[in-house]
Amino acid sequence: MYEVVLSRDAARALGRLTPNMRARVFKALEQVGANPLAGKRLRGELEGLFGLRIGGMRAVYEVDSLQEVVIVHAIGSRGDIYKR
Record the pTM.
0.90
For the chain, the domains span: 12-83
Q: Identify the architecture of domain 12-83 in CATH.
A: 2-Layer Sandwich (3.30)
pLDDT at 84: 58
DSSP per residue, 8-57:
HHHHHHHHTS-HHHHHHHHHHHHHHHH-GGGSEEP-GGGTT-EEEEETTE
Q: How far is CA 75 from CA 3, 14, 46, 66, in A?
A: 17, 7, 14, 24
| Tens-binned pLDDT, residue by residue, of the chain (84 aa) | 999 999 999 999 999 999 999 999 999 999 999 999 989 999 998 999 999 999 889 999 999 999 999 999 999 998 878 775
